[in-house]
Amino acid sequence: MKIIKTLSLLLLLLTAASLEIKAETIPAEITPAAVSETAGEHELPSAIMVLPFIILLGMIATGPLFYHHFWEKNYPKIAIVLGLITASYYLFSLGDTHVLLHTGAEYISFIALLASLFVASGSILIKVDKKSTPMLNTGLLLFGSVIANVIGTTGASMLLIRPFIMINRDRIKAYHVIFFIFMVSNIGGALTPIGDPPLFLGFLRGVSFFWFVEHIWYIWLPTILLVAVIFYFLDSKDKSGSDTEKEYTGKIEIKGLKNLFYLGAILIAVFIDPAVMPWVPSLAPLPFGIREIIQLSIVYLAYKTADREILKDNEFDFEPIKEVAYLFVGIFATMIPALQLIAHEAKVFGESLDAGIFYWSTGLLSGFLDNAPTFLNFFSAEMGKFSLDVNKVEDVRIFQDLHPLYLQAISVAAVFFGAMTYIGNGPNFMVKSICERAGIKMPSFFAYMVKYSIPILIPIFTVVWLVFYFGKG
Amino acid sequence: MIKKIDEVINENVNGLHYGRRLLLPFVADILKIVIDDDILTDFNFEKSRADYNKEEYFTEINFMDYDNLQTVVSEFEQIKMIVVEEGENIFDFSTHRKIGLQVLDDHKIIIKEVDEDIPFIE
The pLDDT of residue A311 is 87
pLDDT for A419: 95
Predicted local distance difference test score (pLDDT) of residue A430 = 84
Looking at chain B, which residue has its C-alpha nearest residue A429? B37
| Chain B residues touching residue A318 (CB < 8 angstroms) | 74
Instruction: Please enumerate in sequence order all residues whose Cβ is within 8 A of that of A195, keeping only pairs 6 or more positions apart, or say none.
Output: A148, A149, A152, A153, A188, A189, A212, A415
Taking CA atoms, A146 is separated from A140, A295, B60, in Å, by: 10, 23, 48
ipTM rounded to 2 decimals? 0.84
A285 cis-preceded (ω within 30 degrees of 0):
yes
Of residues A161 and B36, more confidence is placed in: A161
Q: What is the mean pLDDT of residues A292-318?
A: 89
Contacts of A455 (CB under 8 A, 6+ apart): none
Q: A324: pLDDT confidence band, cut at 50, 70 and 90? A: confident
Least confident segment among A211-225, A241-255, A312-326: A241-255
Specify the range with the lowest mean pLDDT, choosing from A28-37, A146-155, A458-467, B34-43: A28-37
Residue A241's pLDDT is: 67
| B1 Cα to chain A: minimum distance (Å) | 32
Residue A242 pLDDT class (50, 70, 90 cuts)? low
Cβ(A235)–Cβ(A174) below 8 Å: no
pLDDT digits (tens, 9 = 90+) for A75-127: 999 999 999 999 999 999 999 888 899 889 888 988 898 899 889 988 888 88
- Contact state of B76 with A308 under an 8 Å Cβ cutoff: yes
Residue A24's pLDDT band (cuts 50, 70, 90): very low
Rounded CA separation A207/A397 (Å) = 6
- Residue A348 has, within 13 A of its CA and on its CB side, a CA count of 6
- B2 CA: distance to closest CA in chain A (Å): 29
Minimal C-alpha gap between A439 and chain B (Å) = 5
Q: What is the mean pLDDT of chain A?
A: 84
The Cα–Cα gap between A262 and A123 comes to 10
pLDDT, one tens digit per residue, over B9-22 is 999 999 999 999 99
Instruction: State how far the Cα of A299 lies from the Cα of B81, in Å rounded to an integer.
Output: 31
Lowest mean pLDDT among A15-29, A70-84, A230-244, A393-407: A15-29
**What is the C-alpha to C-alpha distance for residues B120 and B122, in angstroms, rounded to an integer?**
7
pLDDT of residue A243: 64
Q: Which residue of A has its CA nearest to B40?
A: A439
CA distances, A96 to each of A44, A241, A373 (Å): 10, 58, 18
- Comparison of pLDDT for A223 and A251, the residue scoring more: A223
Average pLDDT over residues A241-268: 83
Contact A436 B34 (CB under 8 A): yes
User: B15-18 and B108-113: which strand pairing?
Assistant: antiparallel
- Residue A64, pLDDT above cutoff 60: yes
Query: B-chain residues within 8 Å CB-CB of A315?
Result: 76-78, 118-119
pLDDT over 90 (residue A34) = no
Give CA–CA dist A277/A280, Å, rounded.
6
Domain positions in chain A: 2-468
